[in-house]
Each structure stands twice: as C-alpha cells, then as structure tokens.
C-alpha cells in the first residue's frame, strides 16, 4: 500500500508543481515536498532505491549550499544523473521536494547530493540511508532556534549514530567536527597553509572569539588559527589534536578568486585548482567538495574544469547586474559567517545590508553585535541599511564607527538596492549583504 502511495505521490507532485508554476504563486522549493509527505509519510524511504552509485548528504552551520552545489556540479560535468536540492531548501519538505520533482518510476540516478539542515538530519536518516555525510563546520547560529553549539552537535551526532555504515567526510580544522569521527570510518580534509594575497582580505578579525575547550575540559591551543575555531589545534593536557588530513589543502586567497593545491595523502598525488569564489570560507567549501569528488573516484581533469566553471547561486557570492552595475550578493546569518564575508567587502562599492528577523532568519539578532561590522569603517560610499531590522542595523553601524553621513536607513529592500544602483557611473559596484528571508526577496526582484 505504501509503495502504491509513493507512485501516486510522484504523479500528484508533478501536477501540483505545474499548477503552482501556471498560477505564478511560488517557486515550489518546499510546498510540493510538504504535500508529498502528507500524502505519503514514508516517501523518502523509497527514494534511495533510485540512486545507483552513492547518496551524499552535506550538513554543518555554514557552507552547505555552496559545498553541495559544487559537488553536484562536478558530478554532472562527469556526465552523471544527479538529484540535488539545488535551491538550498534543506528541511525534510525541501528534500522531499527535490526527489518528488525528479524521480520517475523507471528512471535511475547515479548520485544524490542532499544538503540538510543540522536539526533535520536525524529526521532525514529515519527514512533515508545516506552513504556519505560531509560536515563543513559548527559555528554559533540562531540561538533562538538551535541553542548553543553542543545542541547543534548533538543533532548531527544523533543522525550519525543511526547509520553505522555511513562514511564521514570531516573538516579536520574544526575541533567540534572532528569529534564526529571517533570510532567511525572518517576521511578528513583541512588546510596546511593559508596565504592572503590581497589588500581586501586578511586573516585578522575584530569579532569576539569564543574559547573552545577540549573534550577533557582544558582550553585548546593553536599553532595556526585561520578563523573562529578553524585551525591547527592541540591540547597540552590530554594530547588531543587535529588529525592529519587525508586531503591537505594549500591555498592562496586573492580578491575575487583562490588558487588551491590539494595533496592526497594516500597516493601522494597533488592537484591544482582555480576557485572563482571569494574568501577563505569558500576555499573551505571547495576543499570539501573536491575531497568528496576524489573519494567518489571522479577524474582530476573533470573536477578541475568543473571547479573553474562553477558559478555560485542564490546569494552565496552570487554576481548579478543591477541597473547596469555589477552586484555581489552574499548571505550573512551568524557571527562567524558574517565576519568572514565582511573581510571580502569592496569598500569602494555602495553597500546594502538587509536584515530581517523572520523565523527562517532567527528572531534573535544579537549576532549583529558579535559580527565584525567594524570592517566597514573605511566605506567610501553609502552604507544603506534595509529590511525589518534596518534601524537596528543602522545603530550597529553607528557603534562600529561608520560615519553618520554615510548611513542611510531605507526599510524597503528594493528601494534600498535601487538607491545603491542610482549612479550613472556603471563602473560603481554594489555589495548586498542580506539575511536569509531578505535574500529570498531579492532573488525574485527584477531591476
């Protein structure tokens, strides 16, 4: 009976999606999935049968969308059929949406690349046995929704415990992430050297740094610290330290791209990549995706070309032209992620910071005060605050030292962007830093 409902749900999903598109009511990133799960609660349990090679899940606080998007792009460039929740809808409804709109009763796919919200990963694994889990990092994020880091880590650990055959791909530079590998089949990736080759980017930050303790309770020490807790850590008390990565990265960070060298420890091979994404945080995303692709046996030349051609989407270093001006859109949603993005901001551009406090953003906006907005003190043009919490953002910028005459409050997001794009000089660039629901609005705007 359940299998019959599964097949019927595929038909209903296509019909519902077509109706949504005809009515122009929604992009359909989650609604179809929600209705599919209502009709067939065990829908996801049948989806793994349509994947012939491997199902890779990607979770963590930051970088899920870019890491999974890049991995899916690599696999597709290798002529594979891939199911991927490309728009980043990463709760159960969004994941079900991706499967429901791709699966056909007699069509098989080579891979699934599924981005999963940390809190929903354990629920996903109740139905869907993934082959791999890639964990990017664990940073403090939306305290009103997730609580402290220990809570977020417990969500992921509970999911891992449900799948004993799961192969873990873990960021060795994050001491919270490496804990997941204890007693498990784990493959580690991390950076040996990071070199900043641009006046825009550097490794220092004014944002508060949390002290991370070892599992024995003593504070961790670092021989190299790249940002937040990411780096080469060790404990003098119990000997716990960063594991030697199976895939070692050496990266040079330029203003709008990075050159990445990856060394595969097992076979001593060295691979070179050009990443057309900004910042060290995107170099981490690329290293994770490249590691997964190499583990899956994808040819180096395919990976190299795919990484070079990959273009970020949906506000993850997304580039658009707005009224003739080049615009860079980068999502900000928590202290560490925002501080890393702020390192990459072109201070000669007009800047829009659009902050909402809807449920998907997190109601608690205290993270604004822990983010390094002091980096905007050298802004040469306007810094426009927008969204529901535009006034709060303007207050934060005032205390960050941005001159009052450069701060403009304009709650309507489209009007704020149009003001930033008002200049007749098309060489003037725009930087847009939105929270999640502000980003959703911007993605639908036409200029």
Query: What residues are labeled active site?
Result: 364
User: Are 182 and 240 contacting, i.e. CB atoms less than 8 angstroms apart?
Assistant: no
DSSP structure class, residue 62? S
Whole-number Å distance between alpha carbons of 152 and 252: 31
Tokens describing residue 314: 């949906």
Whole-number Å distance between alpha carbons of 446 and 437: 17
DSSP structure class, residue 234? E
CA distances from 131 to 19, 45, 55 (A): 35, 14, 5
Tokens describing residue 136: 């990017």
Whole-number Å distance between alpha carbons of 122 and 140: 19
Tokens describing residue 214: 């070892």
CA atoms within 13 A on the CB side of 178: 23
Q: Are strands 350-354 and 383-386 parallel, antiparallel or unpaired?
A: parallel
User: Are 28 and 21 contacting, i.e. CB atoms less than 8 angstroms apart?
Assistant: yes
User: Are 32 and 87 contacting, i.e. CB atoms less than 8 angstroms apart?
Assistant: no
Whole-number Å distance between alpha carbons of 59 and 135: 5
Angle between the N-to-C axes of helices 64-77 and 280-295, in degrees from 0 to 180, rounded to the nearest 10: 40
Whole-number Å distance between alpha carbons of 268 and 89: 38
The residues that bridge with 168 in the sheet, in sequence order, are 133, 186
Residue 163: φ, ψ to 5°: -130, 95
Whole-number Å distance between alpha carbons of 151 and 446: 40
Question: Among residues 435, 440, 439, which one has the least CA distance to residue 361?
Answer: 435
Cβ count within 10 A of residue 106:
5
Q: Are strands 258-264 and 269-275 parallel, antiparallel or unpaired?
A: antiparallel
Q: Distance between the two ends of the chain, CA-based, in angstroms?
A: 50
């Amino acid at each position: 009976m359940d299998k019959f409902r599964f097949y019927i749900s595929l038909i209903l999903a296509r019909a519902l999606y077509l109706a949504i598109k005809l009515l122009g009511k929604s992009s359909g990133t989650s609604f179809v999935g929600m209705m599919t799960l209502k009709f067939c609660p065990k829908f996801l349990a049948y989806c793994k049968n349509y994947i012939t090679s491997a199902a890779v899940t990607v979770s963590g606080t930051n970088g899920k969308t870019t890491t999974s998007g890049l991995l899916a792009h690599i696999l597709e460039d290798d002529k594979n059929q891939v199911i991927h929740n490309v728009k980043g809808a990463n709760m159960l409804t969004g994941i079900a949406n991706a499967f429901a709109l791709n699966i056909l009763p007699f069509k098989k796919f080579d891979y699934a690349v599924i981005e999963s919200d940390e809190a929903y990963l354990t629920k996903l694994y109740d139905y869907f046995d993934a082959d791999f889990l890639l964990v990017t990092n664990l940073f403090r994020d939306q305290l009103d929704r997730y609580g402290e880091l220990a809570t977020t880590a417990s969500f992921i650990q509970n999911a891992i415990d449900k799948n004993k055959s799961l192969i873990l791909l873990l960021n060795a530079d994050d001491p919270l992430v490496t804990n997941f590998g204890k007693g498990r089949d784990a493959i580690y990736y991390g950076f040996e050297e990071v070199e900043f080759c641009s006046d825009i980017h550097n490794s220092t930050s004014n944002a508060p740094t949390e002290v991370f303790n070892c599992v024995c309770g003593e504070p961790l020490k670092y021989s190299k610290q790249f940002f937040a807790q990411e780096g080469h850590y060790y404990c003098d008390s119990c000997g716990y330290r960063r594991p030697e990565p199976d895939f070692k990265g050496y990266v040079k960070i330029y203003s709008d791209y990075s050159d990445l060298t990856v060394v595969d420890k097992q076979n001593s091979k060295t691979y070179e990549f050009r990443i057309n994404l900004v910042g060290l945080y995107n170099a981490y995303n690329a290293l994770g995706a490249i590691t997964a692709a190499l583990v899956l046996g994808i040819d180096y030349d395919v990976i190299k070309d795919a990484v070079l051609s990959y273009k970020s989407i949906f506000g993850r270093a997304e580039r658009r032209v707005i009224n003739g001006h080049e615009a860079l859109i980068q999502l900000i949603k928590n202290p560490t992620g925002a501080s890393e993005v702020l390192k990459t901001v072109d201070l000669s551009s007009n800047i829009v910071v659009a902050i909402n406090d809807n449920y998907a953003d997190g109601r608690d906006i205290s993270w604004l005060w822990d983010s390094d907005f002091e980096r905007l003190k050298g802004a040469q043009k306007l810094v426009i605050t927008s969204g529901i919490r535009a006034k709060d953002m303007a207050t934060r910028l005032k205390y960050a030292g941005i001159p009052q005459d450069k701060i403009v409050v304009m709650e309507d997001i489209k009007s704020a962007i149009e003001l930033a794009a008002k200049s007749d000089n098309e060489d003037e660039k725009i930087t847009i830093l939105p929270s999640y629901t502000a980003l959703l609005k911007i993605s639908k705007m036409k200029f």
